[in-house]
Amino acid sequence: MRFSARLLTFASLALASATFTACSDDKNEVTPDAPKYEVPVTYNFANVNYSGQQARLAMLGELDTYIKTANTGAVLDAQKLQNMYANTNSPFAAAELNTAGKQLRDKTLSTVQAEYDGYLKDVATASLSAKLPAINGTAGILTSTDGTKKYLVNAKGVELGQLIQKGLMGAVFYYQTVDTYLTDDKIGSAVDNKTVKPGEGTTMEHHWDEAFGYFGAPVDFPTNVTGLKYWANYSNQVDPALKLNKALMDAFLKGRAAISNNDMAGKNEAAATLRTNWETLVASSAIHELNAAKGVVADQALKSHYLSEARGFVMGLRYKKDRKISDATYAQVMTKLGDNFYATTGADINDALNLLSSAYGLDAIKGSI
C-alpha cells in the first residue's frame, strides 16, 4: 500500500497522544529526580516468565486448527471443543498443554464465557452439514467463486470458527492485558516491586511480562517479524499505515525497564500508551477486514469470511472499560454488520467501516489499513 508521509505523521502523532493514566494512585508517580537507566532494544530482562500466556496462545492455535477441519468436511466433536476451551480431559495434541494448568475459559471475561460456550456448541452443530453446500437459512460449506476457498458457515452465513478465534483474541488476550495486567490491580502502588522471585522477578515485573506474553511477539520485535502470533501479527499487517509495531514494542520495553528501576511515572506512561494503542489496533484490525470485505461483496464465501473476522474484532472493543468508542456507536457498527451476512450489503460494510474510522480518528488513512 502507498500513502504519503503526511498521513504517516498524522497517524503517528495521533497514536502517540495517549493521556490515560493506568496507575494514578502511585505515591511516587511524580519524582523530581527521575531515575537514570537504559531501556534495552529487545525484551531480554532478568527473571522473565510468561509461559502461561504462551500456553494459551498455543491452545487457541490448536482449537482454531481443529475447527478448521470442518472446512473440508469433518464433523466436530462438541465435547472436545468444550474440553479444549477449558483444558479438561487432555484434549490437546501438544502434551505439555494438557498438563500446563492453564486454560482459555477461566481467563475469558466472565460476562461472555457463556457466549463463547454457545459459539462452540453452534460450530459443532453447523459441522453436521459440513459436506453440504451452504445457502441462506441452511448451514454448510461456502465455496469461493474461484473454487480455492471453502468455509463452514452457519445458517446465517457466519463463519463461526473465525468469530471464535478473533473473539477470544479480544475476550482473553486483549482483555487480560488492557483491563487486568495494565491496571492498578496488577501494576499499581500496592503491588510488590521489591521481592524478587528467581525466574519471575517482582510481582509487578511478572505482571508486566505476562501482558507482553499476550501480545504474541518475539523478544526482538519488530526487527524480527517471524512467527508472530495473533495481535502481534495484526499489528504487523496494519503497520504500514499506523506504525504500531514500534510504538507498542517501545512501550513494552520502556515499562518493564521503568518497573525494574522503580520509575513509576515512566511505567504509568508506558501503560497508558499500550492501552490506548492496543485499542486502536483492535479497531484497525476490524477496519482491515472490512476493507477486504468491501472488495469481494459478490463472492459470498469471501464476504462471509472477512465479515466474520471483522465482527469478532469489533466484539473485542467491548472488553476495555474506558474504551474510546461509545456504546451507541458500537451498537451502530454491529447493526450495520448484521447477524445474517447474506443480507449485509456493500453499503452496510462501508458504513460500519466509516463509523469505526471516525470513532478512532482514522478517517485520513482508513483506505490504507
Structural domain boundaries in the chain: 51-360
pTM across the whole model: 0.90
The answer to whether 126 touches 70, Cβ cutoff 8 Å, is yes
The answer to whether 161 touches 120, Cβ cutoff 8 Å, is no
Q: Is 141 helix (H, G, I), strand (E, B) or coil?
A: strand
Please report where in the chains the cell 500466556 appears, as a residue: 53
Q: Is 142 helix (H, G, I), strand (E, B) or coil?
A: strand
Task: Report pLDDT for 21.
Answer: 36
> Mean pLDDT, to the nearest integer, of 136-156?
98
Judge whether residue 201 has pLDDT over 70: yes
User: What gap in Å lies between CA 52 and CA 174, rounded to an integer?
Assistant: 15
User: What gap in Å lies between CA 322 and CA 226, rounded to an integer?
Assistant: 32
User: For residue 81, what are the CA distances in angstroms to 60, 99, 171, 281?
Assistant: 11, 17, 17, 28
Angle formed by the axes of helices 5-15 and 244-260, nearest 10°: 30
Task: Report pLDDT for 26.
Answer: 44
What does the pLDDT look like over 270-327, one tens digit per residue?
999 999 999 999 999 999 999 999 999 999 999 999 999 999 999 999 999 999 999 9
Task: Report pLDDT for 224.
Answer: 98
What does the pLDDT look like over 154-199, one tens digit per residue?
999 999 999 999 999 999 999 999 999 999 999 999 999 999 999 9
Q: What single-letter amino acid sits at 114?
A: A
Best CA proximity match to 54, nearest among 96, 86, 88, 85: 96
Task: Report pLDDT for 32.
Answer: 53
Best CA proximity match to 279, nearest among 152, 128, 174, 158: 174
Task: Report pLDDT for 35.
Answer: 85
Q: What single-letter amino acid sits at 23?
A: C
The answer to whether 302 touches 150, Cβ cutoff 8 Å, is no
Dihedral of CA atoms 172, 173, 174, 179 in degrees, nearest 10, equals: 70
- CA triplet 256, 259, 261: central angle to 5 degrees? 110
Q: Is 202 helix (H, G, I), strand (E, B) or coil?
A: coil
> Mean pLDDT, to the nearest integer, of 24-37?
58
pLDDT band at 28 (very low <50, low <70, confident <90, very high): very low
Q: What is the DSSP letter of 150?
A: E
The answer to whether 303 touches 296, Cβ cutoff 8 Å, is yes
What does the pLDDT look like over 35-50, one tens digit per residue?
899 999 999 999 999 9
Measured over the CA atoms of residue 25, residue 30, residue 35 and residue 36, the dihedral's sign is: positive
Task: Report pLDDT for 34.
Answer: 72
